[in-house]
Amino acid sequence: MLWDIFCRVIDNFGDIGVCWRLSADLAARGHQVRLWVDDGSALQWMVPNANLKGINGIEVLHWEQSKDAQQLEHRRCADVWVESFGCEIAPEFVAAYASPTGAAGQFDSKVPVWINLEYLSAQAYAERCHGLTSPVMHGPAKGWAKHFFYPGFTRGTGGLLRESDLKKRQFQFDADRWLKQQGVECKASERLISLFCYEPPALPQLLQQLADGSTPMRLLVTTGRATCAVQTAVLYKNGLEPLWNERGALSISYLPALPQTDYDHLLWSCDLNFVRGEDSVVRALWAGKPFIWQIYPQDDGAHREKLNAFLDMLAAGPTLRQAHLWWNATDVATQRYLLPWETWDDWQETVLMCRQRLVQLDDLTTQLVEFVEKKGKI
């Protein structure tokens, strides 16, 4: 099938990251994908071989091109339209294929299956709303319908993105070799922690705990906001207490921008992963390592309920739950919280048990294709 996937970038790692993984998984299964994105700059490092032109069955197009009737005249109507994360397809695009007088006069009366791909949540509404239909009430596409597709963690939802060769790649992975390729030389006694975050208020406390511990720790910091946050925190701590890391128990390695496959490798290499947003928490689950998730904060505080629902799904014990609540707190200035390093094995067991449950479910791409085939009778 031919798929049109639309992406408006808000978080330039999350939105485009999920859309590219979906596009790549569809292409790997023999489908053709046109990815319409308003800012594809992150693909330059996220998928270096794509070069913003597309690769292996994926064509990358700028969002503005979806408004150009002349361009659309030469493009057949796709079998599937996917609006990711609440973005809305340009009215010009809809008119080109839905209107009898539109640019696509060759339209063969087969209505595309129109999917609204929603945000990931473990909350109950994901099951209630998954698969629901919303009729289009006005405009050239009046009488058509959109279908809500909710990723999720239960059989009543659309599942999670998971490539068919993921297990094989993990089995064949050599962490020591990969770390050396990244220029990271680790001591045998060091424990490795990856850090992909926004600007958590608890970050200075985390750095101090790593510096005060009896076990050498190496923090592998991802590029962008995480690097800026760590460098700002280190500068601040050096000003207050120049010898805060006097014993050198904490080592910090700043990583370059990592392609998606190498971000997976980072998670597989570490003893503990700090992740953020939607895409990386799913990758942390598949990695099967202990992790702490920084959920995207919302002004109305709705993220707290979403986080608690996720922790319930994870069957997180008291220490893992407390660690998440500490890391996601907006005011930790007066808190004196110590991460219980001795519980890492328990945390890993929790993640592995959750992963075992989740791999029993059909992955998101499989479910999405089956849903489209059923709705479109393709």
Q: Do both 140 and 62 map to the same domain?
A: yes
Task: Report the C-alpha dihedral over residues 355, 167, 165, 373, rounded to 10 degrees.
Answer: -20
Give the list of residues 6+ apart from residue 131 with CB closer than 8 angstroms, or none. Answer: 147, 148, 149, 371
Instruction: Report pLDDT digits (tens) over 75-86.
Output: 999 999 999 998
Active-site annotation holder among 4, 264, 278, 363 = 278
Q: Do both 205 and 351 map to the same domain?
A: yes
CA distance 278 to 282: 7
Tell me, what CATH number does 15's domain have?
3.40.50
Q: Do both 188 and 91 map to the same domain?
A: no
Q: Do both 109 and 248 map to the same domain?
A: no
Active-site annotation holder among 15, 25, 118, 279 = 15
CA distance 154 to 122: 8
Q: Report the candidate in 59, 69, 55 with the shortest Cα–Cα distance to residue 36.
A: 59
Q: Do both 99 and 145 map to the same domain?
A: yes
pLDDT of residue 25: 96
pLDDT of residue 336: 74
pLDDT of residue 68: 92
Name the DSSP letter for residue 55. B
pTM of the model: 0.93
Q: Do both 267 and 282 map to the same domain?
A: yes
- 300 catalytic residue (yes or no): no
pLDDT of residue 56: 81
Instruction: Report pLDDT digits (tens) over 295-345.
Output: 988 778 788 999 999 999 999 999 999 999 999 987 665 567 888 888 999
Cα–chain center distance at 229: 20
Q: Do both 207 and 329 map to the same domain?
A: yes
Task: Classify each residue of 274-287 as buried b or exposed e, where b means 16 or more C-beta atoms within 10 Å of its C-beta.
Answer: bbbbbbbbbbbbbb
Q: Do both 173 and 308 map to the same domain?
A: yes
CA distance 63 to 41: 13
Q: Do both 231 and 174 map to the same domain?
A: yes
pLDDT of residue 50: 64
Q: CB-hemisphere CA count at 13 Å for 363?
A: 16
- Please count the structural domains in the chain: 2
Task: Give the SS3 label for residue 268.
Answer: helix
pLDDT of residue 12: 60
DSSP-derived pairing of the beta strands 2-7 and 32-37: parallel
Q: Report the candidate in 295, 317, 321 with the shortest Cα–Cα distance to residue 306.
A: 295
Q: Do both 126 and 274 map to the same domain?
A: no
- 363 catalytic residue (yes or no): no
Q: Are 216 and 188 in contact (CB under 8 A)?
A: no
46 C-beta neighbours (distance < 10 Å), count: 22
pLDDT of residue 101: 56
Q: Do both 155 and 201 map to the same domain?
A: no
pLDDT of residue 376: 79
Q: Do both 232 and 264 map to the same domain?
A: yes
Domain that holds residue 145: 2-162+362-376
**Block mean pLDDT (10 aa), the chain, length 378:** 94 84 95 94 83 75 92 91 94 88 54 96 97 94 95 97 96 96 89 96 94 94 96 94 90 95 97 95 97 88 91 97 91 72 94 98 98 83
What are the angstrom distances between the C-alpha of 213 and each of 217, 249, 318, 322?
Answer: 8, 7, 22, 20
Q: Are 38 and 10 in contact (CB under 8 A)?
A: no
